[in-house]
Amino acid sequence: MLPPSEPARREIVLPDIHVTERLASAVAGLVRPGDVIALRGDLGAGKTTFARFFLAARGVHGDVPSPTFTLVQVYAQPACEIWHFDLYRLNAPAEAIELGIEEAFATAISLIEWPDRLGPLLPPDRLTIAFGFGATADARRVTLEGFGAWRERVAAVAAP
Ligand SMILES: Nc1ncnc2c1ncn2[C@@H]1O[C@H](COP(=O)(O)OP(=O)(O)O)[C@@H](O)[C@H]1O
Ligand SMILES: [Mg+2]
Q: What is the pLDDT of residues 9-20, one digit of tens each?
A: 999 999 999 999
Measured in Å, residue 2 CA sits from the centre of ligand 2 at 32
Which atom belonging to ligand 1 lies closest to the Cα atom of 20?
3
Query: Buried b vs exposed e over 83-94: b needs ≥16 C-beta within 10 Å?
Result: bbbbbeebeebe
CATH 3.40.50.300 fits 10-156, yes or no: yes
Helices and strands (H, E) in the chain, number of each type? 5, 7
Question: From CA 42, how far away is CA 158, in angstroms rounded?
Answer: 25
CA 58 to chain centre: 13
Residue 4 has pLDDT above 70, yes or no: no
Q: What is the pLDDT of residues 69-100, one digit of tens each?
A: 999 999 999 999 999 999 999 999 999 999 99
Measured in Å, residue 94 CA sits from the centre of ligand 2 at 21
Which atom belonging to ligand 1 lies closest to the Cα atom of 51?
17
Strand partners, 111: 37, 84
- For ligand 1, atom 8, the nearest C-alpha belongs to 138
Ligand closest to Cα of 53 equals 1
Question: From CA 8, how far away is CA 12, in angstroms rounded?
Answer: 13
Ligand closest to Cα of 138 equals 1
What pLDDT band is residue 5 in, cutting at 50, 70 and 90?
A: confident
Residue 112 has pLDDT above 70, yes or no: yes
Q: What is the pLDDT of residues 26-38, one digit of tens each?
A: 999 999 999 999 9
The set of protein residues with a Cβ atom below 6 angstroms from ligand 1 is 14, 16-17, 20, 41, 43-49, 113, 138, 140
- For ligand 1, atom 15, the nearest C-alpha belongs to 44
